Amino acid sequence: MSFIKSGFPRALAPLLIGAFLLMPGAAFGEIDRVLVDKSQRKMFLLKKSEIVRQFTIALGGIPKGHKKQEGDQKTPEGVYVLDYVNEDSDFYRSMHINYPNALDREEAASRGVDPGGMIMVHGQKDNAGMYSGLLQLFDWTDGCIALSNSEMDEFLSLVPVGTEIEIRW
């Protein structure tokens, strides 16, 4: 390494390399797909089909099955896009899932119901504190996908807007 030959203190080289590897996303590169397995309560971040990170998630109060209407407490199933970050979220920070899509709206209209919306990957309320880990053991959202706040920070540092998210049972 030329910077070592140029008088750079050798003792600092491992520290700099280690710091680089600990930077969010540095070891993985950009995540290109998010997979949510509702039956396992797991979220997987993928890069070129390889799982590089996984999280335990909380879901809506009635998680099995596809979201069909506002208030059904279900998390949608299918392929969507994470289309924007919301830094003014009621639940710490969040990233929006583009539910409902055209098919979801059409299906809801055929039944005369509102498909719902504002489905997010989000953190917890700021006052979760020491109960943060315990909260992740229960399905407590209205249909969103919840992470702990520290995991939400990591998620947002790794997953760019525009990433595909597949949600399945």
Q: Which helix (H) or strand (E) holds 111?
A: helix 102-111
Same domain, 20 and 38: no
Output the pLDDT for position 166.
98
Phi, psi (rounded to 5 degrees) for 91: -120, 75
Is 144 catalytic? The answer is: yes
Q: Choosing from 38, 41, 96, 122, which is the catalytic residue? A: 122
Same domain, 49 and 98: yes
Same domain, 35 and 22: no
Same domain, 95 and 151: yes
Output the pLDDT for position 151.
95
Output the pLDDT for position 130.
64
Number of domains the chain contains = 2
Same domain, 141 and 93: yes
For residue 115, say if its preceding peptide bond is cis, omega within 30 degrees of 0. Answer: no
Same domain, 129 and 142: yes
Buried b / exposed e across 26-49, counting CB within 10 Å, b at 16+? eeeeebebbbbebeebebbbbbee
pTM beyond cutoff 0.85: no
**C-beta separation of 154 from 65 below 8 A:** no
Q: Can you give the residue range of the structural domain that contains 7?
A: 1-28
Below-50 pLDDT ranges, the chain = 1-5, 8, 12-28
Is 96 catalytic? The answer is: no
Output the pLDDT for position 83.
96
Same domain, 38 and 15: no
Same domain, 129 and 62: yes
Q: Choosing from 46, 144, 156, 165, which is the catalytic residue? A: 144
Same domain, 89 and 50: yes
Output the pLDDT for position 26.
44
Cα 90 from Cα 33, distance rounded (Å):
25
Output the pLDDT for position 110.
97
Same domain, 124 and 150: yes
**Which tens digit of pLDDT belongs to each residue from 89-115?**
888 999 999 999 999 999 999 999 999
Same domain, 112 and 68: yes
Same domain, 122 and 155: yes
